[in-house]
Structure formats: C-alpha cells, structure tokens
Amino acid sequence: MLKQYLLSPGPTAVPERVLLRMAHPMIHHRTPQFSAIFAETKRMLEQVYQTSNDALMLASSGSGAMEAAITNLCSPGDTIIFVNGGKFGERWGKIAASHGVNAVEIKVTWGDAVDVAAVEAALNEHPEAKGVFLQASETSTTTEHPVREVARLTASRDGCVTVVDAITALGVIDMPMDDWGLDVVITGSQKALMLPPGLAMIALSDKAWGLTETATCANFYFDLVTERKNQQAGKDTTAWTPAASLVIGLNEVLKMMFEEGLENLFARHALLAKATRAGVAALGMKPLSTAPATSATGAFVPEGVDGGAFVKYLRDTMGVTFAGGQDHLKGKIIRIAHLGYYDVFDITTAMSAIEIALNRFGHPVQMGAGVAAAQTLLAERFPAQG
C-alpha cells in the first residue's frame, strides 16, 4: 500500500466531518429544509467575506465566477485593466477577449507582486476603464498582490471597480471586503474552503451592482441580478439547481471556521506559511515569490533536478501530491499548499517528503534540515508546559 497525502493548492484536503455531512441522503433543493441550510450558509459566508452585501453561490468552478464578474459588469467594447502575473491573472484577459471586452494588460514578472504605481498609471491612461481585475493570491506563482491599495485607487473613480479573485485568499488572510473597499470578491470551493470542486462564490459592492445595470455582455446562466433575487432572504434558493451537496458541505465548513475563530484561522495559516518558507530555505531551495502568499509556497527545485520528474516521483512513488509549475516554470518549481484543512504535521510531512525525494534524486541534502527549520517555528502553535 501507499498512503496518500494531498498537499497541492487545490484541490485541498476535505475534513472528515465535512465528508460525512455531505454523505447524508440527498434532499430536494426546493424545500424549506434546504432553504434553511442555504440561508444559514449564506449568512456565515458573508461573515467570512466580512461584507454586508450578498455573497452569492454559483454551481461552477472558480473560473465561472470570474467570467460572471466580467459579463455582469461590462459591455462589449468596454475596457478593463487586468494584472497578469501568472496563469490566473492571464485568464482575466482571455475571458474578457472572449466577450469582446478590451483588456489592458499590466504584465508582471511571475513571482512578483504588481506595482501599485503601474496600476495607477494604467488607470490614468485609461480613464474609461470599468475596473481593475486581479488576484489577491496568484496561486500559480504563490504571490500576493496588494489588493487593498488597488481598491484605494478605484474608490475615487466613478464607475470603476476593483475585482478580486480571492480563490486562494478568502479564508486564508484577513481581507475584509467592505473595510478594504473591494468591489467584487470571488472564491471557489476546492481551496481554502476545504470542499470538493464545483461551487463558486461571488459578492459585489453597491458600486459594482451599479455597473450591472448598464452591462450588456451576454449572460444567461451567470446572471447575477437574477441570482441575487433568488438567493436573498425570503427566497433562499438559487435560480438554477444548486450544487446542493456542496452547499451543505459549505455549511459544515463555515461552522468549523467559526468554531476555530477567524483570527485563529488567519494566524494558523500565517504560521504554516512562515514555517514552510523556513523549511525550504533550510534545504537551499530558492523561493519563487518576492511577495510570498499565505496560501502556498513555491520554490525552485535545485539545479540538476528535473522538477517535473521530481513532483511526479513524490506523487506516484511516495504518495505525496504537490503541484509543479506551469508554462515557463514547468519542470522548475514545486508548490506546497498550506490553505484550508492543514496543520503543523502536514508541513513536517511536506518537508520530510521533499528531503527524501531530494536524496533519492541524488541531490546532497542534510536529512531533517527542512523539518527542523519548520518545526522550530511550528512549535509555537502549542502552549509551553511547565
């Protein structure tokens, strides 16, 4: 047998408690029973968003909500500004182009955060822009972008919003939507929310709802105005058949998050991220990001090691699934997740697995160096005794 460990930044591990809740017999979604669960889930979700607006649930992966943001806010021929610092940033441009929306790209070196001054320059050059679209955490490069600062830039511009893909940030870092003035915040089920894939979530500020009134991009399934009417209190359902088992799973996930407490949850993620960075540094692996994310840590595999073969060996021979790199980072990096259902001993497992794999690939490695560096920090998670 080979015991399996899932340490990739999406999909992430699903807690047993959530799996068991979703294993209950199916219920009909047009019933008071489902609506009660739906309404409670939506309320808790809005608390995680830290918004007084509606957090809507859509039956799709995260990209569906990204597309919904563009089609509900824009018309063909409109201009948007997007930050391309990785695979997910690049996706904004592709979605916009597919709807005839003119997408102005701010190209960022993979692994760097966007320079707020570059966003300001783009806004000045394109005063007609409907919004700035970016990731809070660009998962492909394990990098955090300064979304709060970007939102400050759009706040004073009429009809211009900040749209944040927070798929690996919401429920990882403290990112209060209303306080920070974020106009659209998107997330998905299979990352920090500890669920299987298939549910996307999106919330809009009043300013963003204003843009929906004039937007004419075609959308039928992802019509957020229709969704809002159905999902608000009183109706407590979705326009189309909801991903009911995922909504029920989300109900359990959110209860777990509030039992832990959001502050503790953010602190746990920050500690795991810090320990992981220390671990890979102790193994002499160069960090991928100059603005490292709290959700996952990317590092270059050592010179002479084929990163593609390395990640495959870890998964197929050792049973530990990490993520590798895409495009020009393919074969060069490893990405270690620490978002959602992760704790101290997931990080020590990750470090130990990487050390053993480096050894098996003939790379000189001091066994235990990464684990030790991580453990020194991870010990803080438990109270001192005596």
Ligand X SMILES: *Cc1c(COP(=O)(O)O)cnc(C)c1O
Interface with ligand X, residue 10, by CB under 6 A? yes
Nearer to ligand X, 167 or 173 (CB): 167
Q: Could you give the residue ranges of the DSSP H alpha helices within 283-343?
A: 307-316
Interface with ligand X, residue 63, by CB under 6 A? yes
Token pair 């015991």 is found at 3
Within 176-195, the residues that bind ligand X by CB under 6 A are: 188, 191
Nearer to ligand X, 191 or 268 (CB): 191
CA gap 173, 265 in Å, rounded:
9
Interface with ligand X, residue 8, by CB under 6 A? no
CA gap 185, 361 in Å, rounded:
42
CB count within 10 Å of CB 124 equals 11
Q: Convert residues 69-108 into a mask of x (bound to ligand X by CB under 6 A) and - (unbound).
A: -------------------x--------------------
312's CB contacts (< 8 A; 6+ apart) are none
Nearer to ligand X, 318 or 337 (CB): 337
Evaluate whether 335 touches 289 at the Cβ level (below 8 Å): no
CA gap 370, 126 in Å, rounded:
47
Kind of pairing between the strands at 296-300 and 333-337: antiparallel
User: Nearest to ligand X by Cβ — which residue?
Assistant: 62
271's CB contacts (< 8 A; 6+ apart) are 377, 378, 380, 381
Nearer to ligand X, 10 or 279 (CB): 10
Interface with ligand X, residue 144, by CB under 6 A? no
- From 51, 135, 143, 154, residue interacting with ligand X (rule: CB under 6 A): 135
Interface with ligand X, residue 11, by CB under 6 A? no
CA gap 93, 98 in Å, rounded:
9
Interface with ligand X, residue 165, by CB under 6 A? yes
CB of 24 to ligand X, least distance (A): 25
Taking CB under 6 A as the binding criterion, the range among 18-26, 36-44, 160-168, 239-247 that sits at the site for ligand X is 160-168
Taking CB under 6 A as the binding criterion, the range among 39-47, 60-68, 113-121, 377-385 that sits at the site for ligand X is 60-68
Interface with ligand X, residue 370, by CB under 6 A? no
Structure tokens at 356: 């053993």
CA gap 197, 151 in Å, rounded:
29
Q: Which residue in 114, 133, 123 sits closest to 72, CA to CA? A: 133
- From 5, 17, 40, 61, residue interacting with ligand X (rule: CB under 6 A): 61
CB of 156 to ligand X, least distance (A): 27
Q: Which residues bind ligand X (CB under 6 A)?
A: 10, 61-63, 88, 135, 139, 165, 167-168, 188, 191
